[in-house]
């Protein structure tokens, strides 16, 4: 039986891209990783640094390359882009990073033969929508990391609140990866019980104030980390690595990734995050999740917030 070879390209050797390559090397999720960056020396340095530790984790091919190495990739990760600076709006960031993303997309498609394109750079919903359109690939073949990290932050906050193993906490944050994101409290549960039931059973109430506090915590988590250490990259690289694993292993995992939606909940022609089945294709299916009328109202408002920015950058 032959060995299955898997190839991943990471475009962007900054904090997120380099951390993703490192996490992937530790997990041995791919047999080949190519790091592509406009700063070729930075890409080479990151590849060498990872290579020098491979004897402790396992053999794989990690190297700095160029866009011609996109050929025959199973997954192409776009992490290149500028971070949001103090005082900048999401619209300011979108305008800057869309210029970068358009150039990246053009270069990818010169050599693209197969594979899912995973967008990690921000604003992820805007970039996912535009790259999907620019690439000409079918819906779902291009998708973003979306609110996967926000959902993980929700689970972490609830695990702390109730002092339980985070793996027993399940819940989703949907909509925009940004200020209008929505925790789906109606489908959040611990050990099969909704959080109110679990809290009542263990004499640990869960009130509307608790909901609001956790909602604000997860919404501001990125800004809090940036204030303290300058950038976020460890958790997002772990989240991205988990997505890559399900792509490479065709696992049909459910994650709240961002993709272009067409009609679900009355929302169309915008990229937002919803619980979706992902496999080697990309987004195989967006799950029509049962949500409350209030959650649906908030979700539509979130989609409108993303559309408002898309309208401002429609000429890019």
Domain of 219, CATH number, reads 3.90.110.10
In a domain? residue 51? yes
| Full residue range of the structural domain in which residue 136 is found | 7-144
pLDDT tens-place string over residues 47-60: 999 999 999 999 99
**Measured distance CA(127)–CA(117) in Å, rounded:** 12
Query: Active-site residue among 170, 177, 189, 203?
Result: 177
264 phi and psi, to 5 degrees?
-65, 135
- The number of domains in the chain is 2
Shared domain for 128 and 214, answered yes or no, is no
CB atoms within 10 A of CB 314: 8
List the CATH number of the domain containing 133.
Answer: 3.40.50.720
Question: Last residue of some domain: 144, 165, 194?
Answer: 144
Q: How far is CA 135 from the centre of its chain?
A: 19
Residue 2 lies in a domain: no
Which of these, 85, 218, 69, lies nearest to 150 by C-alpha position? Answer: 218
Select from 275, 278, 193, 185 the least CA-distant residue to 240: 278
Sheet architecture: strand order including 169-170: 169-170, 189-190, 193-194
Query: In the prediction, which pLDDT does 245 show?
Result: 96
Domain membership of residue 135 (yes or no) is: yes
Domain end, chosen from 118, 144, 170, is at: 144
**Together in a domain, 170 and 307:** yes
Distance CA(174)–CA(103), nearest Å, equals 29
pLDDT for 206 equals 86
Tokens encoding 228:
């303290």
pLDDT digits (tens, 9 = 90+) for 105-133: 999 999 999 999 999 999 999 999 999 99
177 is catalytic: yes
Helix (H, G, I), strand (E, B) or coil at 35: strand
Task: List the chain residues with pLDDT less than 50.
Answer: 1-2
């Amino acid at each position: 039986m032959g060995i299955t070879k898997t190839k991943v390209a990471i475009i962007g050797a900054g904090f997120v891209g380099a951390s993703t390559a490192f996490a992937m090397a530790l997990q041995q999720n791919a047999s080949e990783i190519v790091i592509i960056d406009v700063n070729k020396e930075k890409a080479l340095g990151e590849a060498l640094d990872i290579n020098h530790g491979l004897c402790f984790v396992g053999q794989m091919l990690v190297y700095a390359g160029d866009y011609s190495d996109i050929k025959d990739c199973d997954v192409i990760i776009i992490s290149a882009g500028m971070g949001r600076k103090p005082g900048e709006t999401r619209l300011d960031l979108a305008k800057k990073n869309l210029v970068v993303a358009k150039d990246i997309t053009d270069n990818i498609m010169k050599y693209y033969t197969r594979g899912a394109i995973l967008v990690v750079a921000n604003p992820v919903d805007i970039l996912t929508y535009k790259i999907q359109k620019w690439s000409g690939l079918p819906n779902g073949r291009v998708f973003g990391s979306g609110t996967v990290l926000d959902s993980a932050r929700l689970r972490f906050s609830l695990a702390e609140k109730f002092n339980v193993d985070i793996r027993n906490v399940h819940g989703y944050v949907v909509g925009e990866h940004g200020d209008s994101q929505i925790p789906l409290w109606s489908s959040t549960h611990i050990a099969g019980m909704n959080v109110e039931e679990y809290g009542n059973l263990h004499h640990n109430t869960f009130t509307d104030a608790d909901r609001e506090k956790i909602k604000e915590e997860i919404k501001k988590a990125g800004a809090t980390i940036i204030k303290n250490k300058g950038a976020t990259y460890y958790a997002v690289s772990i989240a991205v690595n988990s997505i890559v694993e399900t792509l490479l292993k065709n696992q049909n995992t459910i994650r709240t990734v961002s993709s272009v939606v067409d009609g679900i909940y009355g929302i169309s022609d915008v990229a937002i995050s919803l619980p979706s089945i992902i496999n080697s294709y990309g987004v195989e299916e967006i799950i029509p999740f049962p949500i409350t009328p209030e959650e649906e109202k908030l979700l539509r408002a979130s989609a409108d917030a993303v559309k408002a920015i898309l309208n401002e950058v429609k000429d890019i």
